[in-house]
Amino acid sequence: MSSSPALFIEVEVDDSVARDRELAAQLAEVCPVDIYRAGPSGVEIVRENLDECVLCELCIRAAPAGTVRVVKLYDDGALLGA
């Protein structure tokens, strides 16, 4: 499996929701650049798409407060929407 390093943003999904398949489907639906995928065991991050993030915050709003974090690596790890 290859993993490309994300340079721009990193996405973190809290363990409390990572296996929630319903939330996974919602995240896959809202993210315009397909960073989320609904897998058999819940939320999957499509790492090769990470740097396509358009900072729209839709994923953050779709998830319970604080459970999905978009980390701005280019801004010393500041959280999007925080």
- 55 lies in the site for ligand SF4, by CB under 6 A: yes
Which positions from 14 to 53 touch ligand SF4 by CB under 6 A, shown as an x/- string? ----------------xxxx-x-----------------x
Q: Which one of 7, 54, 79, 82 is in contact with ligand SF4 (CB under 6 A)?
A: 54
In this structure, what token pair is assigned to residue 76? 């010393």
- List, in sequence order, every residue forming a beta bridge with 12; answer none if it has no partner: 69
The distance of closest approach from Cβ of residue 20 to ligand SF4 in the complex, given in angstroms and rounded to an integer, is 16
| The residue to which tokens 């990470």 are assigned | 50
Closest Cα partner for 12 from 58, 82, 79?
A: 79
Residue 47, exposed/middle/buried by CB under 10 A (0-12, 13-18, 19+)?
Answer: middle
> What residue ranges bind ligand SF4 (CB under 6 A)?
11, 30-33, 35, 53-59, 70
